[in-house]
Amino acid sequence: MTDRVESRSDAELLKLSMAGDESAFLPLYERLKAPLFRYAFYMTGSQASAEEVVQDVFISLLKNGNRYQPAQGDLSGFVFGIARNLIRRIRKRESVTEALPGNEALERKSRLRPGAEDLSAQVIRDQGVERVRTAIASLPDHYRQVIILCDLCELTYAESASRLHCAVGTIRSRLNRAHAMLAQKLKQTKKPQPELRASGTEECLI
């Protein structure tokens, strides 16, 4: 019975889930949850918001699942569309009430593992990650989305295209431009390394 449910398509599972079949809802959730959570996390930059998005997406999917038409694309595209709208709403809301700075940083600091590697190396790495995250967040929305889907969520061009409802060529060109912009931003934010003055040996007293 479980095998039969597992082999069903997303659209069939959705129909069964809406009819109240929990055994159909669980595999559907398992299929969609991981990429959805990662996408929401990178788009919002907050784990709490990502969790909120995942919960709301599934509720909305059950409520508005009737609107899904398989002819227009796969279910994951429909789900990502719902997630995109929710994220937009969350960002609008959070632009009014911005979270206190430092919470995320504290969380990241608590994740530091003293024994695993050198502490300073971890701090440098975290700074680098933060720099990239800020740079990605400052990109225009359509560039940020392709970077998140292709580079961070590890989706193929075709999968990203179906989620963003555009052509594969569009994804390719957007990604190229997004990488160029990102590289430029990273170059701008990179701190200039202090150059060592070539003083020669004559100043050495030893």
C-alpha 68/C-alpha 73 separation (Å) is 9
31 forms part of the interface with other proteins (CB under 8 A): no
Judged by CB under 8 A, the stretch of 60-68, 95-103, 114-122, 198-206 that binds other proteins is: 60-68
Nearer to other proteins among residue 94 and residue 126 (C-beta): 126
68 forms part of the interface with other proteins (CB under 8 A): yes
Nearer to other proteins among residue 72 and residue 199 (C-beta): 72
The dihedral formed by the CA atoms of 27, 30, 32 and 37, expressed in degrees to the nearest 10 = 160
Which of 5, 31, 62, 94 is in the footprint of other proteins by CB under 8 A?
62
Q: Say whether 202 sits in a helix, a strand or coil.
A: coil
Neighbours of 9 (CB within 10 A): 12
Question: Which of 77, 87, 81, 79 has the alpha carbon at shortest distance from 49?
Answer: 87
Contact 165, 82 (CB under 8 A): no
C-alpha 193/C-alpha 197 separation (Å) is 12
Contact 17, 24 (CB under 8 A): yes
133 forms part of the interface with other proteins (CB under 8 A): yes
Nearer to other proteins among residue 166 and residue 186 (C-beta): 186
119 forms part of the interface with other proteins (CB under 8 A): no
C-alpha 45/C-alpha 49 separation (Å) is 8
Judged by CB under 8 A, the stretch of 1-9, 90-98, 114-122, 174-182 that binds other proteins is: 174-182
Contacts with other proteins, residue ranges (CB under 8 A): 15, 17-20, 22, 25-26, 29, 33-34, 37-38, 41-42, 47, 51, 54-55, 58-59, 62-63, 66-69, 125, 128-129, 131-133, 136, 147, 150-152, 154, 175-176, 179, 182-183, 186-187
